[in-house]
Amino acid sequence: MDKDLIDFLTTLNHVRSVDEAWRSTVSFMRARGAEHVGFSLELEDANPLLMWSLPSWVVKQWLEEVYPEHDPTVAHCRNHVTPFFSGAAFLDRHPEFAEPYKSYLKDIVHEEAHAAVALPVHNYASGDWGKFSLSTDLSAEAFERLYHERGMTVYMAAVAAFNRIRTLIKQERAADIGLTERERECLLWLARGMRNDQIAERMSIRPVTVALHLANPRRKLGARTREQALVGAVQLGLVEP
Backbone angles phi, psi at 68, to 5 degrees: -100, -15
Residues 27 and 135 occupy one common structural domain: yes
Q: Do 117 and 134 meet the contact criterion of CB atoms below 8 Å apart? A: yes
- Kindly state whether residue 17 falls inside one of the protein's structural domains: yes
Residue 46: pLDDT band by 50, 70, 90 thresholds?
low
Give strand pairing partners of 128: 123
27-52: average pLDDT = 81
Q: How many domains does the chain have?
A: 2
Domain boundary among 175, 192, 212: 175
Query: What does the pLDDT average to over 17-35?
Result: 93
112-130 tens-digit pLDDT: 557 788 899 988 877 788 8
Collapsing DSSP to helix, strand or coil, 124 comes out as coil
> How many percent of the chain have pLDDT more than 90?
36
189 and 165 co-located in one domain? no
User: What is the C-alpha separation between 160 and 164, in angstroms, rounded?
Assistant: 6
Q: How confident is the model at residue 89 (pLDDT cuts 50, 70, 90)?
A: low
Across the chain, mean pLDDT equals 83
Residues 25, 136, single domain; the answer is: yes
Q: How confident is the model at residue 188 (pLDDT cuts 50, 70, 90)?
A: very high
C-alpha span between 31 and 136 (Å, rounded): 12
pLDDT at residue 110 above 50?
Answer: no
Q: Which of 121, 119, 147, 181 is nearest to 33 (CA)?
A: 147
Longest dimension (CA), the chain: 70
Using H for helix, E for strand and C for coil, what is the string for 181-204?
A: HHHHHHHHHHHCCCCHHHHHHHHC
How many residues are listed for the chain in this entry?
241
Residues 169 and 214 in one domain: no
Domain end marker among 158, 175, 192: 175
Round to whole Å and give the CA distance between 94 and 171.
Answer: 39
* CATH number for position 214: 1.10.10.10
User: Mean per-residue pLDDT for 44-70?
Assistant: 70
Q: How far apart are CA 2 and CA 239, in angstroms?
A: 37
pTM over 0.85: no
Residue 183's domain comprises: 178-235
Distance CA 16, CA 225 (A): 32
Shared domain check, 212 and 108 = no
